[in-house]
Each structure stands twice: as C-alpha cells, then as structure tokens.
Amino acid sequence: MKYLIAGAGAIGAYIGARLSNAGHDVILFARGAHLQAMQERGVEVKSADGDFVARPMVAASLEEIGPVDVIFLGVKAHSLTYLAPQLAPVLGPGTTVVSTQNGIPWWYFEGFGGRYNGARLERVDPGGVIAAAIPTGQVLGSIVYFSAEIIAPGVIQHISGNRISLGEPDGSRSERSRAIAEALISSGLRAPITARLRHEIWVKVLGNASFNPVSALTRATLAQMVGDQGVSSVIRNIMQEVEAVSHKLGMDLPVCIDQRISGAEKIGEHKTSMLQDLEAGRPMELEALVGAVVELGEKVGLPMTCTRTVYDCARLLSQNTRGGTLEAEHLEAEHNEQNIKK
C-alpha cells in the first residue's frame, strides 16, 4: 500500500519515518525549511528507542503525488478546513483517510444513530468544508498516544509513547483497519483496533478540555494545576461537565475523573500542547478541544457554566495573542506544522 502523510509535522513525520524505515511506500507532504531538509537529508528521528534516518519521498505539492491507498491527516484540527479541500488529487475511491486530530473529530456523528445522527459541529467543521471534501465512508478514526517535536528542520525528537488506537466510526473491525494496524505494528508502533473509539475519544477529551485551556490561562504545568486547590477544583468542575455531556450522548466512560486527575499528576511538570502552542506563537487547538464540547453542551441542553467561562477567557486570550483574526491563525497554521501532541 502507498501511504501519504498529509501534513508531515512532528507527529506526521514520525509516523511516516517509522513506516518508511520498515520498508513501506511512504510520501510526506510538507512545506518550508522542514520540507527542504527532509528532501535533502531524509527524516532524522531521535528516540530513546533508537535513532535512525528514513528517506521517504517528500513532496511540496499534492498534485504531483496522485491517488494513494492511505492518507494520514497530520495537521492539527484548525488546519483541516484548509487541507481537506486540497486532497482531491490524492483521494481515490478506495483511499482510507486516517484522522489523527485531538478533540472531537468532524466525523463524530456520522452513523451515530438517533436524534444526533449526521449532526455537524460548527466549531470543528465550519460550513461543513471537511465533510464535503472527505467521503464519510473513507474515514478511519484514530487517537494518538505519543508525543514528538521538531527540534530542527528534518529532525524529529520522539519524546514518549508509541500507541495509536484505530477505530471504524461504525465500530466494526474492518479489513482496512487490520491492514493499517499491521503496517504500524511492523514499524515499531502499538496499534490496537477498538470497537469503542468514541468512548476512548471522550476519555482523552476529559483531560484536554480541562487541563489545556486552564494551562494556557495560568501558564502552569500539569503538576502545578493539580497541586493548587483552587485550580484543581476548576479542573474537576470542567471534567464533571464534560462527563455529563458524554453521558447525554450515551457514552459510558471507562475512566473516572479521579483516575484522570491522578494520571495527570503522575506525568508531573509537563506543559500541555495548548500551552506549548501559546508560548511558541502557534494557533491553539481551542475549538476542537473545548469549543466543540461547549457546542455539544448546547445541543444536549446542559449549561456548561465552568467550561464555557474558561473557554471564553481562553478564546479572548487567543484572539489577543494572535492579533484577533482567524485568518491570521489559519495562514500561519498552514506554514507551521511543527507541533506537539500529547
């Protein structure tokens, strides 16, 4: 199979380098100095698991690639509305598109059933641009559980973790999910296939919707937020509201709030991805991680008082930091995919 990493930032380039190093046919789509460095010297990966250099094909244009078998969407959620319409040259009728974004994905309600079946989240997919560009039946969901960063153009530092969970939106265990999982496993990654991906999404959102925006507002690490009685109370209140939304949607979470907070405390002096983006001058994943949950609260009739308050404060911080325009965020996001996911 031919694999395309559409948006070969830190996470995308790491996945692509792993696949390529294992002998799979991989193409990376990137821009700028990172693109040039990978074209000239390959992708250099530094990791406690062992350093290596992979030399996949690296392209600056999707038009030059043509249809592929599998596309990994390597950009952050706020860049998908710009990337998705550009995928037509590489998207064939049999192409599988693997979403790797944090937060609530644009496809979440496709095949969901009940009153919310087919519902669209405006804060995740404004105007339905992503859904219009990527056929629902070609989407395979995933959740990334590793972190990496670009420490120099073409050089990826793998920080921790090696798991990427895969799941069909309809909960089935498809042949395509098995084939992709086998490729990832052969590349040194853990790739379990789950029939309950939506439940797993909510477990991650439980932490992302609380710790991320609060960290951006306070500039605090996970340990600092958990250790402060007042801030820890805010975190818990947000988690309770998020959990209430998930229950309204029929999700029975396998992890309780105390376990989620305890897990964050064990990670220690770690800065969330949102705080790292803020400090680096990058757009924050605010809408997919927090705004989408607020929007879902509106749909299911919950006030989301604490979550909405923190979201509104973080939104204003983002606007003031980014010059107050979404256009500036998206333009910069297109050219700066040097991201960290955690």
- Going across the sheet that includes 68-73, the strands are 52-54, 43-46, 155-167, 139-152, 91-99, 68-73, 2-6, 25-29, 57-59
User: ∠197-202-205 over CA atoms, to 5°?
Assistant: 125
Mark 162-186 as b/e (b = at least 16 C-beta within 10 Å): bebbbbbbeeeeeebbeebbebbee
Q: Residue 216 and residue 234: Cα distance in Å, rounded?
A: 14
Contact at 8 Å (CB) between 109 and 168?
Answer: no
CA 148 to chain CA mean position, Å: 13
Task: List the structure tokens of 259.
Answer: 């376990």
Q: Which of 204, 271, 341, 342 is the catalytic position?
A: 204
Instruction: Indicate if 204 belongs to the active site.
Output: yes
Q: HEC string of 210-264?
A: HHHHHHHHHCCCHHHHHHCHHHHHHHHHHHHHHHHHHHHCCCCCCCCHHHHHHHH
Q: 193 pairs with which residues across the strands?
A: 166
Q: Residue 195 and residue 118: Cα distance in Å, rounded?
A: 19
Contact at 8 Å (CB) between 5 and 28?
Answer: yes
Q: Residue 4 and residue 207: Cα distance in Å, rounded?
A: 30
Using only C-alpha atoms, what is the Rg of the chain? 19
- Positions marked catalytic: 204
